[in-house]
Structure 1
Amino acid sequence: MKKIFVIDWILIFVFVLSAFSGIGLHIAGHGNSHEVWHNWAVFHVLTSFLFFLAAIFHITTHWGWYKGIIKNGLGKKNKITVVLSVVFFLVSVTGIILLGVDGANSYIGLLHYKIGIVTIVLCIGHLLKRISLLRKSLK
């Protein structure tokens, strides 16, 4: 299997873990147990860090695409992927900021959660558009 597809499959796996743990963390924030919330927070930070690393590898394997956007402009098919790139950047920045503040019930935490939901939706769309190519990579 080509390196690019290995990175893509790892990215899918850690995306699912990050999304699941982020939603679990948000739900745990509505409960009464700080320990449960803390466990979800640790799980989310770890899985999101892995997702961030995999995304960096994914982006670097597609760096030519980004250079093409800069050189040739934005085409119709590229708009959603560019929006996903910007939203991923925003969710990453807000997540990194949360490492330095008390994120529970904070404005930045809620903003991170909302941007995270948008990221999840865009990632699922990005993945579904490419799922047949990913399936072929397994053969």
Structure 2
Amino acid sequence: MKRLVINLGLLILAIFTIFSGLLIQIEYHMDNQSHELIDKSVFGLAYSDWSTFHKFSIIILSILVGFHINLHWKWYKTVIAKRLLNKNIQVITLTIIFFLVAITGFVPWIIDFTDGNEIIRKAFIEFHDKIAIILSIYFILHIIKRLKWFLTTIEKTKINTAHNK
């Protein structure tokens, strides 16, 4: 049950994060070479609202990814110890790209909070925007590959819940 809750949380938060991230890229970052704040709303929310929503989503997603990796830590150790990286390249790549996206997403926050170099902050954001698209594709592939597990586990949970009543 714990795995199902974490995985459903990951699914929901990944959707929120991907949606808000792509929306921010398309509506506010693209074609904004001057890096001026664009004064427009999308679906009734301004840039600052979407940015806050995205940050909130990614913080919760990162926490859930931590729990998810912890649940599968034995698997990671086995893959590395038995040199099964090639056989599990999609999951390993997803993990590495997630950490790259997280780092390139969190570093600009630190730069902003410490009044650091704005050019470096924007460079991190640009790199983050690009690799986040790749991460989104890997997330989708990862979910598709495990869709049968999701559906089977949800069905078993329904049966067990109905049986216990």
Normalised by the size of structure 2, how large is the TM-score?
0.77
Aligned to 1:12: 11
Within the candidate set 108, 112, 131, 1:115 is matched to: 131
Output the CA distance in 2 between the equivalents of 1:34 and 1:100: 26
Output the CA distance in 2 between the equivalents of 1:67 and 1:76: 14
Within the candidate set 90, 100, 122, 2:100 is matched to: 90
**2:51 matches 1:41:** yes
Percentage identity across paired residues of the two chains: 29
Output the CA distance in 2 between the equivalents of 1:41 and 1:89: 20
Q: Secondary structure at the match of 1:82?
A: helix
After superposing the two structures, state which structure 1 stretch, 121-130 or 100-109, moved more: 100-109
Output the CA distance in 1 between the equivalents of 2:20 and 2:105: 13
Say if 2:108 and 2:122, in contact at 8 Å, map to a contact too. Answer: no
Output the CA distance in 1 between the equivalents of 2:50 and 2:26: 9
Output the CA distance in 2 between the equivalents of 1:77 and 1:25: 35
**2:132 matches 1:133:** no
Q: CA deviation at 1:77?
A: 3.1
Q: CA deviation at 1:5?
A: 1.4
Output the CA distance in 2 between the equivalents of 1:67 and 1:34: 48
Say if 2:10 and 2:65, in contact at 8 Å, map to a contact too. Answer: yes
Q: 1:94 to 1:134 in 2, by over 3 A?
A: same
Q: CA deviation at 1:72?
A: 0.5
Letter in 1 for 2:101: V
Output the CA distance in 1 between the equivalents of 2:153 and 2:68: 15
Aligned residues: 138
Output the CA distance in 1 between the equivalents of 2:144 and 2:86: 18
Output the CA distance in 1 between the equivalents of 2:49 and 2:13: 17
Unmatched tracts of structure 1, length 5 or more: none
After superposing the two structures, state which structure 1 stretch, 35-44 or 123-132, moved more: 35-44
Q: CA deviation at 1:27?
A: 2.3
After superposing the two structures, state which structure 1 stretch, 61-70 or 25-34, moved more: 25-34
Q: Secondary structure at the match of 1:73?
A: coil
Say if 2:85 and 2:92, in contact at 8 Å, map to a contact too. Answer: no
Within the candidate set 47, 56, 63, 2:73 is matched to: 63
Provide the alpha-carbon RMSD of the alignment: 2.0
With a CA cutoff of 8 Å and minimum separation of 6, indicate the structure with the bigger relative contact order.
1
Say if 1:28 and 1:40, in contact at 8 Å, map to a contact too. Answer: no
Output the CA distance in 1 between the equivalents of 2:26 and 2:57: 17
